[in-house]
Amino acid sequence: MEPKDTFFSRKLNINCKGDLIDLSEPKIMGILNITQDSFYDGGKYSSSEEILAQVTKMNNEGADIIDIGAYSSRPGAKDLSVKEEIKRLTSILDIIRNKFPDLILSVDTFRSEVAKEVVNSFNVDIINDISAGELDPNMFELIADFNIPYIMMHMKGSPQNMQEDPEYENVTKSVMTYFEEKINKLKLLGVKDVIIDPGFGFGKTIDHNYQLLNHLNDFRMFELPILVGVSRKSMVYKVLDLSAEEALNGTSALNTIAIMNGANILRVHDVKEAKETIKLTSKLLSAKADNWRD
């Protein structure tokens, strides 16, 4: 008896400059924050030596993508000018591209001006937009012009106000309706490589986050890759009454659930542990598929 739908029946991929990245097995996006005030690793990587060491470490441990962010999006974070964001990214991307010319790089920005600069000057492969075009109406057209993969995340409000008492009648339905509208706009512009991110911790309570994780499978209806970023977030450490520094074990537990519910990309601070999580979960899912075939 064949299953109607299994994780391994999904033939999803993204096209990075002509190279197809197969997402039939989950991939790892390693986080590189070059900000001073990120909730977990702010200020850790300020020198070129520290940055190269961290990228080398993540690459050696199995990261498929490195996601670089210069604008802190933690709740209540201070705003940063476009000029300063570009300045921070330029210095870092120059270092990384010289050392790792073939590494798949993503830049975490919601500004089209920043996206344009990093793609043109440093051949950045993917744009990761926490606002899905909400904070910059020019972003969608820019992505269409560049024809590069685009991660769009759901966020209610902005980083400065998103956690001010967020409310939903039904958080899963609200986020799905949001994505449906955005996907239709992108399709009309001819954008083909879209990845959706439900935005855990962005304009959601802890209960909202767990409702979304529990219903992550529902997002497979869009037939697009799903990115999950729960790494060391408050939905882990507040439930466990820990700090972000102590939240690695809880992160691995939620990443396992995310994969079981259809995640294709895990955005993480800890690549080695995510790699192990994927290997074990994929083995479990493969055994489940084999049992159906028997």
Whether 202 and 73 have beta carbons less than 8 Å apart is answered as yes
Residue tagged active-site, from 74, 88, 156, 267: 267
Task: Count CB-CB contacts under 10 A for residue 175.
Answer: 26
Whether 277 and 255 have beta carbons less than 8 Å apart is answered as yes
Residue tagged active-site, from 27, 74, 156, 233: 233
Annotated active-site residue 233? The verdict is: yes
CA distances from residue 128 to 195, 208, 226, 250 in whole angstroms, order as listed: 9, 22, 13, 25
CA distances from residue 275 to 75, 168, 265 in whole angstroms, order as listed: 28, 34, 11
Q: Which two tokens stand for residue 41?
A: 């690793």
**3-class state of residue 232 by DSSP:** coil
- Sequence letter at residue 102: D
Identify the CA nearest to 140 among candidates 203, 194, 212.
Answer: 194
**Which residues touch 279 (CB under 8 Å, ≥6 apart)?**
none
Annotated active-site residue 267? The verdict is: yes
Whether 28 and 65 have beta carbons less than 8 Å apart is answered as yes
C-alpha 168 chain-centroid distance: 23
Helix axes 171-188, 139-146, angle to 10 degrees: 50
Whether 139 and 115 have beta carbons less than 8 Å apart is answered as yes
State the catalytic residues.
233, 267
